[in-house]
Amino acid sequence: MGSKMLDEGEQIVKTLEKADAYEFITNFANNLKPKLVKEEANYLVYESSMLLLLEHYYSNHRLQY
């Protein structure tokens, strides 16, 4: 009986992880849709907190390698 409960628990966790992953990917994709704010000195400026976050993350981690 304990094994069956463990298997059911693992299945619930996997289902929740899939739902969380789907929600994350959906939100991520929607947030990456560029929203043009202005064009300034040949640079397109986008209003996207996720793009800014990714830019900040990769600029910091690129220096470590």
Average pLDDT, the chain: 63
pLDDT at 65: 47
Interhelix angle 49-62/2-32, rounded to 10 degrees, is 100
- Separation of alpha carbons 31 and 53, rounded Å: 11
Question: 46 near 32, Cβ under 8 Å?
Answer: no
Whether 27 has a pLDDT exceeding 70, the answer reads yes
pLDDT at 2: 55
- Separation of alpha carbons 15 and 57, rounded Å: 29
Render pLDDT for 31-50 as a digit per residue (tens, 0 to 9).
665 554 455 555 555 556 66
Q: What is residue 33's DSSP assignment? A: S
**What percent of the chain stands above pLDDT 90?**
0
Whether 11 has a pLDDT exceeding 70, the answer reads yes
Predicted TM-score (pTM) above 0.85: no
Provide the token pair at 47.
């209003």
